[in-house]
Each structure stands twice: as structure tokens, then as C-alpha cells.
Structure 1
Amino acid sequence: MDTKVVAAAKWSLITEVLAKLITPVTNIILAHILAPTAFGILATIMMVISFAEMLADAGFQKFLVQYEFESEDEKQKNVSVAFISNIVLAIVLWLVIIIWRDELAILVGNEGLGFPLAIMGAMLPLGAFSSIQMAMYRRSFNFKFLLSIRMITIITPLFISIPMALAGFDYWSLIVGLLAAHLFTAIALCIRQEKLISIYFSSTVFRKMFSFSAWSLAEAFSIWLTAWVDTFIISHFLDAYYLGLYKMPTAIVTTVMAIATSSMAPVLFSALSRHQHNQVEFEKTFLTFQRYMALFLVPLGVGMFVYQDFIVEILLGPQWKLAGIVLGSWALSSSLVTAISYLISEAFRAKGMPNISFLAQMAHLFVLIPVIYVCVQYDFTTFVYARSIVRVQMIAVLLYLLAIYVGMNAWLVIRNIKSYIIASAVVGTGSYVLLHLHNSMIWTIFCICISLILYLVVLYLFPTERIILTKIWESVLLRLKRS
């Protein structure tokens, strides 16, 4: 199992590193071609599509990864039922979007854009066709194959969206690029599938699966609401321009953070699911993943906060200047939320307790919605900072629930990454002071290099981290010698 986990983590990490090298390049080029309004329009459309995707999945993907089947025949029957159910639900939801496209466009603050919303709905059956097959590859830790599939999604917008944007197709370039990526992914999975999915459906199997995954669906809804409530509020109280200013930098942060989350989380969920009945191995796996993710994420979040204006100027250009506060505050809060909250949610799912994660999400929403609703009516800057700060409340709730329902000490989770928090805070403070001594691009680049070196130096002062850094360095040298 340990060998499978390490191999899966390696291939998953390679996939996400490639994605996070190519995808930002695509978005940066598009950001220089298109106005923020185009990205705001896409955000409101994706708010509807992502909600429909969540309903179409019905929590079956996580069920297939997490559930321990008694035989291969039982597993294949569940796969077939999940596949057919997802396809049917996706088509029904697409028809609903087509029929009520104009009303839905008004609801999300994009009146007159019902037609592009209906076209974007084609993502639903395409995504449903691919999702169950990809879930089974995750279950078997076959992340090497998923690399080739994921590369299709990564590269397609680069060759479709950018030429269309240059040709003047505005937000349509973004829509067509995403649709093409989903289409090519579905085709690739159809060609390369290892085992044909049989046409089989059983209402008994469906009810069993749904009863198991109902809380996963409820949890997915709460996560969707948490992720998209700010988009809904901005689209109603401000406009598509401010929504674009908000969504693009948060997307950049999410993209960068996802090098760790998207690569490690599926592997972590699969590994924890296999150890769900062994508390010692469960905790060991959780804490190991957390430390290696925090080693990278915490300093990254602090660094993006300190150098927010420089990053926005380089990546997006002068028309996005106001986006700096969004990028900086979101990166800082995301570094802690990802290293703690995100992993705790995965632990609840692996233990078969998505209802606890749902409870935490609802407790967070109870605080989040009134805070951002009030703050957005002051000004955009107040809204941005309030939205980032209130995320800390989610960490406290999840730590408490982790101790109660999983039996893991909350302080152990914090102590596990305290050295990274201390080192990042010390270096971040020094970097902020150093940065403001002079104002030039060369000086800023110099400060960034010094910050990276200082972080490693400060971290090396901690005996436990010295061991980890030494192991990483020895591993790198060994691989270089082999190559």
C-alpha cells in the first residue's frame, strides 16, 4: 500500500505541476487579451454549471473510491449503475438549463446571457461520461494514466481559447475552450478504457449507493455554496467587471495551491480510505501528507501576500491593478485553509463521515453569508479582506470536529506544521520591510530570492525540519545521479 501511495503521489504531483505551469500561461495570455468583464461572465455561467455537475454526480464518485466492495462483480455492478445514473441525470439537468436559461441568467446577475449558459450546459453529459471512469482509476492508484488524460484538459484551451480571443470572440473563447477540453477527455477515455462498462441498472443498487452517498452530496452542496456565494453577491451588488477582478486572482491562487491539493488530495483520500479502520496508520498518513503540503503551501501563501502587487503587474497587467489585494489576502488565507481545513475534510470523507464535513460547512456559512453581505455594501476592498479573514473560522470548527469524531488531537495537527508557520511569518515580515526600502523590479526580484533562501535557513534551525530537508535533498541528488 505504501508503495502504491508513493507512486500515485508522484504521478499525481507531476500532473498538477504540468497543469500549473501551462494553465497559468494560458490565463495570463487571455487576461492580457480579454477584459475582466469576460471572466466575470464566465464565472456566473460556471456557478450554474458547477451546481448542476454536483447534482449529476450525486456523490457516486467518492462512493466508488471509498467503499470496500466484497467482490469484483459487486464493484462492476455499482460502477455500471453509477455511470448510467450520472449520464441520465446530466442530460435531464442540461434540458432544465436549456428550458429555463433566461431565468437562470437573470438569477445569477447576467441578464441576456441565457444562450451561452445553455451551450455551456453541454459540459454536463461530457463530464458525466468521464467522471466515473476517472474515479475507478483513482481507486486503483493509476495516476500515471490519469496524467495523459489530464494533459488533454490542460492543453486544449491553450490552442483553442487564445486564437479565438485574438479573433475577437470575447467570452465565447473561454466557453468553447472548456467545452472542447471536456469533449476530448471523454473521447480519450472511451478509446483507452481498460474495461468496458456494462449496460446494467438496479434500483436496489442505486438506493444503496444513494443512501451511502447522500451525505456526500449534501456536503458537496455546502462546499459549492461556500465557493460560489461570493460570486453571487458580487454579481448582484457590483457588476461583471468587479467579479472578473475578484475571480481571476482567486483562480490564480487556487491554481497555484492546487499543485498540492489536486495532486495530493485524491491520493490522500484513497490512502486514508484504505486505512480507515486502522487509527494509527490513518493518523500517520494524514500527518505525513500535511507536513509535506505545508512545507510548500505556507511560505507560498505568505510570499504571494507580500509580493501581491508585483505578481499582478507581471501576470495580468495594469488593467488588473486592483486585483492585488484579492490575490494577496486570498493566498494568505488559502495557505492555512488548505494545509488544515482541506485535509481534515478529506479525513472525514475517508472515514465515511461526510455528514460531519457538511456540518462544518454549514456552520461556516452561518458566519460567512452575513459578513460578506454587509461588507460588500461598503466597498470592494472591505469585502475582499472580510471574505479572507472569515475563512479562519472554518479552521477552528473543523479542528474541533476532528477531535470529537475522528479522535485526532487538534493541537497535534497545528503542532505538525508550526515550524512552517513560524518560519514563514518571520521571513514574510522581514521581506515586507526589505521590499519597501526601494521600488524597482530588479530589487523586488532580489527580495524574492533572499526570501526563499532565508526561509530554508530559518527552517533548518528546527531539528525535525532539518531531517526532512536533508531527506529531500538526498532524494534529489539520488535521482540526479540515476538520470
Structure 2
Amino acid sequence: NAVLLTCLSSWKPRFVYSFDKLKEMIVFCGWTLLETISAWMVSNIGIFIIGKTFNDYYLGVYKTSTTMVSQITSIISAATISVLFSALSRLQDDREQYKQIYYKFLRYIGLFVVPLGAGIFVYRDVVTNILLGSQWKEAYLLIGLWGFILSESVIFHDMSGTITLSKGEPKLLFANNMIQAILMVPALYFSARYGFTALVITSCIVRIQLPIVQTFFAQMVSGIKVLDIFSEIKSYIIATAVMVIMALVMRSFIHGGILLYLSIFVCIVAYFGMLWIQKDSRDMITNILNIAKTRLLRK
């Protein structure tokens, strides 16, 4: 078939080999490999330090808690980030279309991750009891803080990193990871002297550096400003703030039982209710419902 198509077609294949393209590919792949290695190092550096400074019990609490939270947020990132990278890479030379596709993904992803982080923090004890059991009380704070940071990092780290990578700048991702490692090692060693709680708080504070710097790098290579990102998700932030206030009020007099789980449902209703009264977010929710309805009818 290949021979026949070659003979009958007006287009004839040519053998082309570009050393310049090969060099670009090697450089890109090299920096991507370094970024992957450095990301693994940053993800596990806390485990290494805790293993040296604390006993096996605290090592298990830290490792299990962070892994469990990472699995929750990775469900969203794994389903969206690879698709976003493909779309942005294809449109990297079209500035306006590039921004539009990013903002579209931002609005859909932000709809879920903004309240998710706040919800995990406010109901950290409930989340821990459901995922790990009632014997993991020392993991409450870690799961709450880590869940909040990783949820918001889907926007400010994962999506921003996708922008940087789609522009062919994996070395900036590597640089960001190295900054994180340089900050984390002394911070964790120093805070470990004051106990496990101090180490948890310090590790979460240091972790904030990753999304902050990554968002700055994304702005530098794409022109997508931080204020533009907040402008796109401001309705989610407002709705989440209302949801958190309601949750704190209900938690002040609800301490357990079925009412505690009912309060979570009330918070979800309050969040989407606040979005519904805002026109821009109401249109998007309606669009999502229509898409879901169409797919269900097809089945």
C-alpha cells in the first residue's frame, strides 16, 4: 500500500534529517528529565528528613497523609492537565486562542478545586476519619493544610507548569523545584527540633513557594497575569468564602453524628447556590448540566 500510494500520489516523500531539530529535542528532553527527577526529590524530601529525625510512627503519619491527599487532587489533574498541555502546545503561536483555551480550562477546573481545598481544611477531621479511621487524630492538621495547598496548587502550580512546559521552557520547572529543595531542607531540619506539629506547619508554608514561583514563570513566558487568573475564578472564591463561613458557624454547635455530614451537604448547596446567583458562573453550570444531560441521554 505504501509503495502504491507513493507511485500514484502527486506528493512524494523525502528523506529529511535536521541536526538542529535533533539538538532542540535533546535539550528539551534533557531538561524535562531533570524536572521529573527534581519533582520526585521535592515530593519525597520530607519523608527522608522525617525518617531521620522522628520515629516510624510519625513517618507513617506523614507519608500516609500526604499520599492520601495527593491521590485525591491527582484525580483532577490527571484527567485535565495532559489534555490542557496538548491544547496549549498546539496553540502556542496564537496568543489570543492560547489564552482563551487556558481560561476555559481554568474556569472548569477552578469550579471544583477552589472549594475542595477549603472543604478539606474545614472538615479535616471528617476527611481523615473517612479515609484513614478514627485512630489518626495526629494527621488532622497535616491532611487539612496539605489538602488545601495541593487543591489550590492544581491551578497555580500544575496548570501554570503546563503553560511553562507548553512554551518549551522545562528548565524553569526544574529551577522552581530546586528552589523548593533549597528552602525545604533547612526549614524541615530546623522545625523538627520543635516537634512534629511545627514540622507540618513549616512544610506546608514552604510548599506555598512552588505555586507562587510557578505562576510567576507562567506569566513571564505567556503574558497571562496573576490578576487575570484571580479575575476568572473570583466567583468561586466568593462562593467558597460564604461556604467556609457557614461551615464554621455550623461546626461551632455541631460536633458529630449525622448532622455533621448533613452540614457538609448544606455547604455544597450553599456553594453552588452562591454561584447560581452570579450570571457568569450560572451560565457555566447550566452548560455543564446540559452536557451531562446530553451524554446520559446518549447512553
TM-score range, shorter chain: 0.7 to 0.9
Q: Please report how far the alpha carbon of residue 402 of structure 1 lies from its aligned counterpart in structure 2 after TM superposition.
A: 2.1
Equivalent residue number for residue 34 of structure 2: 218
Residues 23-422 of structure 1: pairs in structure 2 closer than 5 A: 209-422=25-238
Q: State the shift of 1:204 in Å.
A: 11
For residues 208 and 394 of structure 1, what CA distance do their matches in structure 2 show? 27
Q: Structure 1 CA distance, aligned partners of 2:171 and 2:274?
A: 40
Gaps of 5+ in 2: 1-12
- CA drift of 1:367 comes to 2.8
Separation of aligned partners in 2, 1:389 and 1:402:
21
Q: CA deviation at 1:208?
A: 6.0
The code of the aligned residue for 2:57 comes to Y
Measure, in 2, the Cα distance between the counterparts of 1:206 and 1:406.
Answer: 25
What per-residue deviation string (whole Å, max 9, x for no partner) do you get for residues 347-399 of structure 1? 11111111122222233333333222211221111111221222223232222
The alignment yields a C-alpha RMSD, in angstroms, of 2.4
Q: Following TM superposition, by how much is the alpha carbon of 1:330 offset from its aligned partner in structure 2, in angstroms? A: 0.6
Q: CA deviation at 1:72?
A: 11
CA distances 1:204-234 after superposition (whole Å, capped 9, x unpaired): 9986643231211222232222211111111
> How many residues end up aligned between the 2 structures?
286
CA separation of 1:469/1:205 partners in 2, compared to 1, >3 Å: closer, same or farther?
A: closer
CA contact (8 A) 2:235 2:278 kept: yes
Structure 1 pair 72/365, CA: closer, same or farther in 2 (3 Å)? farther
SS at 1:318's partner residue? coil
Q: Closer, same or farther in 2 for the Cα pair 1:418/1:235, shift >3 Å? A: same
Q: Of the candidates 276, 283, 288, which is equivalent to residue 472 of structure 1?
A: 288
Equivalent-residue separation in structure 1 for 2:202 and 2:69 (angstroms): 17
Q: 1:316 to 1:232 in 2, by over 3 A?
A: same
1:20 is matched with none
With 251-260 and 362-371 compared, the bigger mean Cα shift is at 362-371
- Structure 1 residue 306 displacement after superposition: 1.2
The CA distance in 1 between the partners of 2:160 and 2:121, in whole Å, is 24
State the identity as a percent.
31
CA contact 1:333–1:389 (8 Å) conserved in 2: no
CA contact (8 A) 1:337 1:391 kept: no
CA distance in 2, matches of 1:396, 1:209: 29
Question: What SS class does the counterpart of residue 299 from structure 1 fall into?
Answer: helix
Change (3 A) 1:330 1:415: same
Instruction: Tell me whether 319-328 or 208-217 shows the greater mean CA deviation.
Output: 208-217
Q: Normalized against structure 2, the TM-score is what?
A: 0.87
Q: For residue 344 of structure 1, report the CA deviation from its aligned partner.
A: 0.8
TM-score in terms of structure 1 length: 0.55
Please give the alpha-carbon distance, in whole angstroms, between the structure 1 residues aligned to 2:176 and 2:14: 35
User: Whole-Å Cα distance in 2 between the matches of residues 416 and 365 of structure 1?
Assistant: 31
Summarize deviations over 1:280-333 as a string: whole Å, max 9, x none. 222112221122111111111111111111222232223322111111111111
Q: Given the superposition, is the C-alpha separation of residues 397 and 290 from structure 1 closer, same or farther in structure 2, using an over 3 Å criterion?
A: same
d(CA) in 2 for partners of 1:425, 1:275: 35
CA contact (8 A) 1:298 1:336 kept: yes
Partner of 2:4: none
* Shift in Å, 1:401: 2.1
Letter paired with 1:231: I
Distance 1:247 1:468, change over 3 A: same
SS at match of 2:179: helix
Deviation at 1:271, TM superposition (A): 1.5
